[in-house]
Amino acid sequence: MGYGVMKTIINCETGEVIERELTAAEIKQQAADEKEYAKAQKVEADKIAAKQSAEAKLAALGLTEEEVASILG
């Protein structure tokens, strides 16, 4: 039973190169990776959005770009 996704294994000791389909465990891991990746991207996007919101609020208080940058980095 194949899963259609191939993985290349390079044996550094012998130089042998094997291309094989992902195992069931690797397919399962890939699904978990997909969720982990999406979660990490959302955290990063939220962080960027929060920074942009803070920048906008600080600017609204009358701070210059340099002043905002000195606070937020």
How many whole angstroms separate alpha carbon 26 and alpha carbon 5? 10
Which of 20, 57 has the CB closer to another protein? 20
Position 29 contacts another protein (CB under 8 A): yes
Position 61 contacts another protein (CB under 8 A): no
Best CA proximity match to 31, nearest among 5, 2, 63: 5
Q: Which of 2, 14, 61, 62 binds another protein (CB under 8 A)?
A: 14
Beta bridge partners of 17: 10
Residue pair 5/21 in contact by the 8 Å Cβ criterion: yes
Give contact residues for another protein (rule: CB under 8 A).
5-15, 22, 29-30, 32-34, 36-41, 43-44, 48, 73
